[in-house]
């Protein structure tokens, strides 16, 4: 079994804010759109995990 260096790094890295001062209005709008898409993807992942956990809880309550 081999490990990659990223496997050893903490999973909850603090995200450093980007310097937005030189971005155009269009670039900022595109950035917001991309962030909103990523937020939606994270929400879907949370919902799927909650659904899986709920199913598992039902199995073990029986």
Task: Give per-residue pLDDT as tens, 3-58.
Answer: 676 666 667 778 899 999 999 999 999 999 999 999 999 999 999 999 988 877 77
- 2 pLDDT above the threshold of 80: no
> Is the distance from CB of 39 to CB of 31 less than 8 angstroms?
no
Q: Is the pLDDT of residue 1 over 60?
A: no
Please count the CA atoms within 13 angstroms of the CA of 52 that sit on its side-chain side: 6
Task: Report the alpha-carbon distance of residue 18 to residue 5 in Å, rounded.
Answer: 24
* Cα(44)–Cα(55) distance, integer angstroms: 17
pLDDT of residue 39: 96
């Amino acid at each position: 079994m081999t490990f990659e260096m990223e496997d050893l790094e903490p999973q909850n890295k603090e995200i450093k804010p980007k310097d937005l001062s030189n971005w155009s209005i269009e670039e900022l709008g595109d950035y917001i759109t991309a962030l909103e898409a990523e937020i939606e993807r994270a929400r879907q992942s949370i919902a799927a995990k909650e659904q899986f956990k709920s199913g598992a809880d039902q199995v073990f309550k029986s």
